Amino acid sequence: MNQLRHFTLAVLALLALASCRKDKPEPTRYPYESGIFVTNEGPFQNGTGTITWYHPDSASAKHNIYQEANGGEPLGNIVQSLTFGDSLGYVVVNNANKVVVVRANTFERLGLIEGVALPRYLVVDGTTGYLSQWGPDGVSGSVAVIDLGTRTVDATIATGSGAEHMLLDGGQLYVANAGGFGLDSTVAVIDLNTRQVSSHLEVGPNPNSLVKDRNGNLWVLCGGDWASGASGRLVQLANGTVVQQFELPTGSGHLVIDGAGSTLYFINGFGGPVWRHAIDAPGLASDPFIEGAFYSLGFDAGREWLLTADAGDFTNAGTVRIYDTTGKLVDEFEAGIIPGNFAVRQ
C-alpha cells in the first residue's frame, strides 16, 4: 500500500514538473533586433518619410515600421538617416529639424532631440552624440554635441558649409563639408577633448562622404560643383596629406567601404552606376561594377552585402537591390518613396 502511495506521489510530481516546464514562457523575440533598415526620405517638402525593414533570414520586407509602432504618427519630412546606439535608435528628420528617439527593438517613440537646424547624420560615441547639420541658412554647417541621456544639445561646433557625413576615429571626428546650399572644399577635423576644430583638410569641391581603409588612410569623395562645372574626385589622404586623387563626374557620392577595409564602392555621377575601387589599385576601373541608376549606397559588413537604392521617379516607391561582392544580385525589394540611406543591425 505504501509502495502504491509513493508511486502515485512520484507520478504526480513528474506531471507537475512537466506542467511547469510546458508553461514556462518562451524568451521574448522583438521584431527589429537585427536586419537592414532603409530610411525613405518621402515626398520633397510635403508628406512624411518612412522606414522599411528587411529581414535577411526570411528575405522579406516590412514598410512603415515607425508608423505601425506609434499609432500612425508621421515621422516628418525629410527622413534623412538612422543610427543605432545600444538599445536605442535615432531617426534624423531633416526638414522637421528634429531627431526622433525610438526603442531599437520595437521602434516605439521615446522622445525627441530638438534645437537643431537641418540635421543630416548622427554618430554615437557612448552617451554622446555628434550630429551634423547645415544650419538655418543651409550653409552655416556645424556639429551639435548631444547629451543622449538628457537629449539636449550641449555645444555647437562650427565646421564649414554643409556639414554632412562624419567619421569617428579615436579622439577625432572628421566632418565632410559638402557645401550645403553653397560651396566648400574641406574636411573639418574636430578634437573631441577640446571640442574645437583643430584643422581643415583641403580635398576638393563639396566632399560628401568619407571612409577609413585597413591601412589607416582616409578616402574622401567630392561631388564637385554644378554651378562652376568643377568635377568630382576621389581623394586618398595619408596623415592629413593628399597622396592621390581621381577625377569623377559631377554629382558623384555615397562612398562606402567593405568590411575588410580594402575595397571602395561609390556612385559615379548623380544617379549613375556603382563603381568599385581596390585601395591598392593604381587607377580607377574603366567600366562600372554594377550598371544602373542609383540614388544611394550602403554596406552590410556582417554579410558582405552591397546595398543599393534606386529612387525611380522620386514620387513612387523606390527599389532596394542587394549584391554580393562579386556583383551577383542577392535579392531586391520595394522600399518607400526616395530610399536615401541604410542602417544595419547584426
Q: Which CATH number goes with the domain that contains 153?
A: 2.40.10.480
CA distance 89 to 170: 23
pTM (2 decimals)?
A: 0.91
**Cβ contacts of residue 304 below 8 Å, gap of 6+?**
258, 259, 324, 325
Residue 204 in this model has a pLDDT that exceeds 50: yes
Among the listed residues 337, 333, 341, the one whose alpha carbon sits nearest the alpha carbon of residue 56: 333
For residue 68, what pLDDT is reported? 97
Rg (CA), the chain: 24
For residue 31, what pLDDT is reported? 86
> Which three cell numbers mark 54?
528587411
Do the domain assignments include residue 255? yes
Among the listed residues 200, 85, 83, the one whose alpha carbon sits nearest the alpha carbon of residue 132: 83
If asked whether residues 219 and 193 sit together in one domain, one would say no
Residue 22 in this model has a pLDDT that exceeds 80: no
Do the domain assignments include residue 21? no
If asked whether residues 215 and 288 sit together in one domain, one would say yes
Which residues form the domain of 212? 205-294
Do the domain assignments include residue 74? yes
* Residue type for position 108: E
* Residue type for position 125: D
59, exposed or middle or buried, with CB in 10 Å at 0-12, 13-18, 19+?
exposed
The DSSP call for residue 105 is T
For residue 15, what pLDDT is reported? 43
Final residue of a structural domain among 153, 187, 202: 202
> Which three cell numbers mark 279?
585601395
Do the domain assignments include residue 323? no
Do the domain assignments include residue 15? no
Do the domain assignments include residue 44? yes
If asked whether residues 290 and 300 sit together in one domain, one would say no
User: Cα dihedral sign for 124, 125, 127, 128?
Assistant: negative
51, exposed or middle or buried, with CB in 10 Å at 0-12, 13-18, 19+?
buried
Q: Which helix (H) or strand (E) holds 337?
A: strand 329-337
Q: Are 266 and 210 in contact (CB under 8 A)?
A: no
If asked whether residues 132 and 190 sit together in one domain, one would say yes
If asked whether residues 225 and 289 sit together in one domain, one would say yes
User: What is the count of structural domains for the chain?
Assistant: 3
CA distance 159 to 143: 7
If asked whether residues 134 and 93 sit together in one domain, one would say no
Q: Which residue has the higher pLDDT, 6 or 133?
A: 133
Asked whether the bond before 322 is cis by omega within 30 degrees of 0, the reply is no
> Within the chain, where are the H helices?
2-23, 65-69
Do the domain assignments include residue 1? no
* Residue type for position 13: A
pLDDT band at residue 46 using 50, 70 and 90 as cut-offs: confident
Final residue of a structural domain among 151, 172, 202: 202
Residue 11 in this model has a pLDDT that exceeds 90: no
User: What are the contacts of 314-318 at 24+ separation with CB within 8 A?
Assistant: 314/44, 314/338, 315/43, 318/40
Residue 18 in this model has a pLDDT that exceeds 60: no
If asked whether residues 213 and 268 sit together in one domain, one would say yes
pLDDT band at residue 29 using 50, 70 and 90 as cut-offs: low
Kindly report the average pLDDT of the chain as a whole number: 93
If asked whether residues 193 and 223 sit together in one domain, one would say no
For residue 45, what pLDDT is reported? 82
pLDDT band at residue 248 using 50, 70 and 90 as cut-offs: very high
pLDDT digits (tens, 9 = 90+) for 92-118: 999 999 999 999 999 999 999 999 999
Final residue of a structural domain among 141, 171, 202: 202
- String of DSSP letters for 194-233: TTEEEEEEE-SSSEEEEEE-TTS-EEEEE--BTTTTB-EE
Do the domain assignments include residue 180? yes
pLDDT digits (tens, 9 = 90+) for 304-338: 999 999 999 999 999 999 999 999 999 999 999 99
